[in-house]
Amino acid sequence: MREAVARFVADGAAVAMGTCLEPAIPFAAGHELIRQGRRDLTLVGPISDALFDQLIGAGCVGRVVAAWVGNVSEGLGHCYRRAAERGVPRSLEIRDHSNFSISLALWAAAWNAPFMPTRTLLGSDIPSGNPDLVPEDGWVRVQPVKPDVTILHVQRADAAGRAHAWGPMGISEEAGLAAERVILCCEELVPSEVTLSDPNRVLLPETKVVAVVHEPGGTHPAPLQGFWKRDHAAHREYASRSRTAEGFAGWLREWVLEMPDRKAYLQRVDPTLRISRHLFSAPVDYGDE
């Protein structure tokens, strides 16, 4: 993880994360960005639960291009509030979207289209604060949003960058296709025989993937289908401690800055959050002759 983040995410980069909304959020990658002290990032995402709030609180972010920043089960994002209301720890440029419009902006970039027309956002004030959303007569022009890097966490991947992901995908596909490059974090690193046995399940072309990081538990406290439940208590604790800047600083020290890596972090995670009731799908037949 350390090497992937160091090599492929520069200061000032536009980074898409949390593209499945609540599940499969690459928290481990976000925490590594904080440890390496990235600055002036543009965060791109729909609803990415509390990850964006943490990166904003740590001072890594200069611009937010998103539909929602907060804490899904708890409500407001306190670091987001401090940054937007008082410029603490620094001020932010906010380019608001809806979930639909951020998806369209990424598809526009993925297809190399000059813009995407949509009927959503008519009558809303959202376009008035975002130069990428231009109201026309009876429709809205959505300008492309192109991430420098999209970071995804999937259930399994092979070393060549073929990811198998399941569960709801949110905007992962358009974020991956639109991005200059993709960092894949995976729960299991598997031989290519596994991924190639089911090419319909491969999320993205391997040509987009620049790094594969084997990072079990990398989505905690977000859930991952088949592997991890959501840690509601951790979200509650984060909401309560991040209410003040001092409280957030203490949380950040304990869970991010003084945590050498995800392995050490997982030592402190409730082991009952690991999913134990497994429900396997029926295999499919790719027979050819």
Site for other proteins in 204-243 (CB under 8 A): 222-226, 229-230, 232, 235
Q: Does 84 bind other proteins (CB under 8 A)?
A: yes
Nearest CA among 117, 111, 96 for reference residue 173: 111
What is the distance between the alpha carbons of residues 159 and 211, in angstroms, rounded to a whole number?
9
| Site track 44-73 with other proteins (rule: CB under 8 A), x = hit | --xx-x----------------xxxxx-xx
Nearer to other proteins, 39 or 229 (CB): 229
Binding span for other proteins by CB under 8 A among 9-17, 92-100, 194-202, 252-260: 92-100
Query: Per-residue DSSP letters for 254-288?
Result: IIIIT--SHHHHHTTS-GGGB--S--PPPP-----
End-to-end CA distance of the chain: 42
Using rule CB under 8 A, residue 176 touches other proteins: no
Indicate whether 129 belongs to the interface with other proteins (CB under 8 A): yes
Q: Is 118 in the site for other proteins (CB under 8 A)?
A: yes
CB of 120 to other proteins, least distance (A): 5
By CB under 8 A, is residue 169 in contact with other proteins?
yes
In degrees and rounded to multiples of 5, residue 233 shows phi and psi of: -65, -40
Q: Residue 230: what are its φ and ψ, rounded to 5°?
A: -75, 140
> Which region among 5-13, 34-42, 118-126, 205-213 touches other proteins (by CB under 8 A)?
118-126
Query: Can residue 132 be called a binding residue for other proteins (CB under 8 A)?
Result: no
Establish if 173 lies at the interface with other proteins (CB under 8 A): yes
Tell me the chain's radius of gyration from C-alpha atoms. 19
Q: Which residues of 129-142 are buried (b: 16+ CB within 10 A; e: fewer)?
A: ebebbeeeeeebbb
Cis status of the peptide bond prior to 117, with omega within 30 of 0 = no
Which residues sit at the interface with other proteins, rule CB under 8 A?
A: 20-23, 46-47, 49, 66-70, 72-73, 75-77, 80-81, 83-85, 96-101, 103-104, 107, 118-126, 129, 138-139, 166-174, 222-226, 229-230, 232, 235, 275, 279
